[in-house]
Copies of this chain bind each other. A is one copy, B any other.
Amino acid sequence: MDYIVVEHIFLLVLVTLFSVMQNAFFAQKVEKEGRSQNVKASTLERVSCANRNCMDSYPTFLAVMWCAGLCLNQAPAAFAGIIYLFARQKYFIGYMGQTCQSTPGFQFGKRILLFLFLMCIVGIVSFLLVRYASSDYKEYVETITSAASALLLIP
């Protein structure tokens, strides 16, 4: 059974591992800023806030990505996940906000989260169609989703 399961989730696991590496990178960045004495306090605060904002939306991102991958197809979900990680990296590097509270971490990657969210809904609707109307559109839906995920590349 393990083999079958891994076949359906290994791309999701890979993206999760990348996100964990990114989390560790963010944390190390904060730690380095905190340790150096002659740094301006504002820099530390800024890095720390960017880290907090990223971590705040992390469980949401994981939940949506895994649901989308399990319900429909792992390939577009993992692809969207990778793009989200790039958006997060860009957000963290270029973070220039001063106040922590005004930016609750959902301002970047909104479109990607929405795409994953729609994937979940499409997956569940498709499952219900198969179950109650016994009409199998799943393959068409998967093809369309894979094609649509390319649209996320448009900045």
A positions within 8 Å CB-CB of B: 1-10, 13-14, 16-17, 19-21, 23-24, 26-28, 30-31, 34-35, 44-45, 48, 51, 55-60, 62-64, 67, 70-71, 99, 101-107, 113, 117, 120-121, 123-124, 127-128, 130-131
Q: Would you call A13 and B71 a contact (CB within 8 A)?
A: yes
Main secondary structure of the interface of A (DSSP, over half): helix
| Set B1, B13, B63: member contacting A20, Cβ < 8 A | B63
Residues on B with beta carbons closer than 8 Å to the beta carbon of A124: 6, 10, 13-14
Chain B residues within 8 Å of A14, by CB: 124
Provide the bound-state CA to CA distance between A19 and B63, in Å. Answer: 10
CA A119 to CA B5, docked complex, whole Å: 16
Q: Looking at the complex, which one of B23, B27, B101, B120 makes contact with A34 (CB distance below 8 Å)?
A: B101
Tell me the smallest distance from the CB of A68 to a CB of chain B, in Å: 9
